[in-house]
Amino acid sequence: MHDAITDVPGIRVGHDTDLTALTGCTVILCDPQPTLGGVDVRGGAPGTRETDLLSPLCTVNEVHAVVLTGGSAFGLAAATGVMQALEAQGIGYDTGVARVPIVPAAVLFDLGVGRADVRPDAASGARAVASATNGPVAQGSVGAGTGATVGKIGGPASTRRGGLGSASATLPDGTVVGAIVAVNALGNVIDPDADDQPTAFADPDQPLGAMGPMTNTTIAVVATSARLDKAQATKVAQMAHDGLARVIRPIHTPFDGDVVFALALPAPDALPANAGDLTEVGAVAADTLARAVLKAIRAAVSFVLAPSMVL
């Protein structure tokens, strides 16, 4: 076990990281197929793609990958590269005339940290697919977390490096729940088991500089080996948001675009998980996502913005 989302059978993760422009993307691939998904959007400034399709009211019950990416709305182009790479492998929803990969995506804003004119694109998404494995997940200043920052609510003096983190847990019956998150929050990251200080993991000698009020968002995927239907996957995504609230304060502000996706094996006809099992999966998803956030911050590498990069 890797204490990562890749402990969930069939989940692979790949990153594309640009350490010069300080941006990147992360792809979560679902194999074997089909996998179904849910989503819950809580932030007031989200940037997303294909989230409507995940509604239990919508027809398609397949998800082939999820993309977490930097680059603000520009970064959604990374999902196109993931689609192209999957199409080349014959993966996608069978429309009768072509297979269309279903690739929901969410973005965070990192344009003010490195280069605003360089952001993840289709080639970035394709590279992330090519690098994907079911092994240990690189964490910290990688992939979608490369240019992430946190603590911006306190201004330049409190702004610190965010990052990407992943964790997993196994239930008594063997069900696995995993999480992966790119943490780019307006709020402070706080370890509830530590001293409850906003700078619990910050290096006070490495300030980042002022960031604008719309430069935030925490985006995540939780996955489970439990067999769920789409409505239940959506409930797990909702419950998982509680994990963000435990360690990021404040969260879900008008200036954050917080999004949590959920991935699960589809239930056999008329046999989704019972309410008790669903409750346990959702509760563990919240705990696991909270721990992934803390791992992201602990693994991040501090850096200082060049004066020309300060907003």
Q: Distance from CA of residue 57 to its chain's centroid?
A: 23
Looking only at the bridges linking them, the beta strands covering 65-69 and 36-41 are unpaired
Q: Is 50 helix (H, G, I), strand (E, B) or coil?
A: coil
What integer pLDDT is reported at residue 43 of this predicted model?
A: 87
The string of DSSP codes covering 165-214 is EEEEEE-TTS-EEEEEEEEE-SSEE--TTTT--TTTT--TT-------TT
Contact 151, 197 (CB under 8 A): no
The C-alpha atoms of residue 310 and residue 20 are separated, in whole angstroms, by 16
CATH ID of 5-309, from 3.40.50.150, 3.40.30.10, 3.60.70.12, 3.20.20.70: 3.60.70.12
Angle in degrees, CA 122, 123, 128, rounded to 5:
100
What integer pLDDT is reported at residue 155 of this predicted model?
A: 77
What integer pLDDT is reported at residue 272 of this predicted model?
A: 78
Q: Which residues pair with 189 in a beta bridge?
A: 248
- Sketch the domain layout of the chain as residue ranges: 5-309
| Ramachandran bin of 35, using left for φ above 0, alpha for ψ from -120 to 50, beta for the remaining angles | beta
User: What share of the chain has pLDDT > 90, as a percent?
Assistant: 76
Q: What is the pLDDT of residues 199-250, one digit of tens each?
A: 434 443 444 444 455 578 999 999 999 999 999 999 999 999 999 999 999 9
What integer pLDDT is reported at residue 311 of this predicted model?
A: 27
pTM: 0.91
Contact 34, 61 (CB under 8 A): yes
What integer pLDDT is reported at residue 210 of this predicted model?
A: 44
Burial state string for 116-152 with b = 16 or more CB within 10 A and e = fewer than 16: bebbbbbebbbbbbebbebeebbbbbbbbbbbbbbbb
The C-alpha atoms of residue 46 and residue 153 are separated, in whole angstroms, by 18
Q: What is the pLDDT of residues 73-93, one digit of tens each?
A: 999 999 999 999 999 999 999
**In this structure, is the dihedral angle defined by the CA atoms of residues 100, 104, 109 and 115, taken in order, positive or negative?**
negative
Residues of the chain below pLDDT 70: 32-33, 195-214, 270, 302-311
